[in-house]
Structure 1
Amino acid sequence: MNVLKIIAHGAISATLLTASISQVLAEDEQYVWRVTTHLPMASPTWEHSLVKLKNTLEERTGGRLVLDLYPADSLFGATELFNAVRRGVIPMALTSPAYLTDQLETAGIAFGLPGAFDEVWQAAHYFKNLGFEEIIREEAAGYGLYYASDKVYPYEMFSRVEIDSLETFEGMRIRVAGVPQTFLTNVGAAASFIPGTELYQALATGTFDAGVWGAVQEASNMGFYEVASYRVQDPILIGALEAYIINEDAIARLPGDIQDILKDTLEDHFWSTTIDHMYREAVALRKIESSQDITSISFPDDVREKMEIEANNIWELEGNKGDSASAAIEMLRSFRDDISKH
């Protein structure tokens, strides 16, 4: 072998060695993402969704992707999360589509529409099997974000007063977020938004007569039943009240295998967390009924009738927000027709 061949052979070997070392370093590199949310640590979603996802990702990536979790208001306010992730200030957040209605025309539908679903499985089918998740994900991609629903579950009301008629309901001061704010206002209540972290005090002092914050687990863990002892067992809606938004540039900086693991894990997480949440709701309801002075009530007939009328109006309003929203509503109406008893 002449000198030139020896030099060339050595250069090739060095290049291959460098590439091999770089690959090993990339495989061993740890990516730590700051992740925050609109939820306080007292929310069961903190433990059973965020912490669960963190642990699963660390296990599946061998510790190469680590989520560094921050509770509500520790980094950004609830309404600031979208822009923080879009601009890459943080790579990821768990937020609510209720806070994204100014950016995504289908966010109100994602949060949930009154009268859309009677059971959790119907919402899950609409999101994942019929393709609604792809519609809102495509919208989010226009902002450089990857969108993944956390789970679907009911959105329930708790009240300081017994709701026994439409007359009682009209004028009630109710804390609520997203599309239901317009919906309950149209039914007759004085619905408005404050952060969930302020709701206990607002109920305790009588500033609000009722609130809507998740369902049984959320209300129980946040102590709301202590100051609002009527649980309205008819959900306002069933929807994906929380969702992960992830900066797509941050995803692109991950090795290919971690990108795949992240997206596959988020898909698995939706199904396992939805089912787990249903189980925990049943356990939590049994616990509060046996240990707390809670009364479960239903909306009276005249309130239900007004709600049905206003729900139809809300569907029209949301469907008129754009082509994506119109397609989502059309798909929802078709689904309802398929399962209708009429």
Structure 2
Amino acid sequence: MKIKTIGVLTSGGDAPGMNAAIRAVTRAGISNGFKIKGIFRGYDGLINNEIKDFTTENVSGIINRGGTILRTARSSEFETPEGRKKAYENMRSNNIDALVVIGGNGSLTGAKIFAEEYDVCCIGLPGTIDNDLYGTDSTIGYDTTLNTIVECVDRIRDTAVSHERIFFVEVMGRDAGFLAQNSAIASGAEAAIIPEDSTDVDQLARFMERGIRKSKRSCIVIVSESPKCGALYYADRVHKEFPDYNVRVSILGHLQRGGSPSAHDRILASRTGVGAIEAIMQGQRNLMVGVRNNEIVYVPFLDAIRSDKPFDKKLITVLDELSI
């Protein structure tokens, strides 16, 4: 079947640069003779028929804006066969032949299942601040979020030094420590507590021994979010095990998602957006478009959503040596 109309949606958590990706898909698609339709509120919008024709005017002036003009949602209904059936019926009734899905692990998993069930062309773009998608060096939104965290930590350090406090700063990243480890290096933090460093060694005890041994009374520790062992958990342990220290917690939360995307994220979103249209023109399907070693790559969904994206353990050594 010849593809004439492409639908584009954003799904899951918002990420800076999603608008740049929507713009790239829309304009590259129109430039190559496709009709483009914007699907609002992710998979829920596909189920509820929130679909609109898109022109170049719809994406004018959005490359610098955070969030997503298409809005986004996490759709529990799309996880059901009945929900996906509704989505497919609306896709057909709107004459949409292919989908470009901008989102993270869960969103691309949904695209994979949908493509397999209904034999439709789905192309994914790596839109997530977590940087946890396999096969691409970076994901859309990661660089902006990293810079946001560093700016916040720089401000927190002023207070930490002034009051001689240990600050545990909790950052996003889900099950990946890319944001925590790299923001710790960039901000000069004394330690990072991340999933990839979960060995038999107590990370907190190791930090307290190393970071405090030279009479440091103010320290910054970056902690990856965790329902069990987040920043509050470690701060509580210090209160109990090292009562002489003044401890505070800062959970950065959703401010990490907002803001104007960095140049890096705008370029990544633009390149992968154009790459999605090129993939469709080549007859490719059911894959994610990424950038590896500065080259556009096509990564099958099954590989992209793997949970073992390589983490450079040398970064742990770098932080250890610089935080003495």
With the shorter chain as reference, the TM-score category is 0.3 to 0.5
| Rg larger for | 1
The TM-score, its normalising length taken from structure 2, stands at 0.34
Bigger share in helix: 1
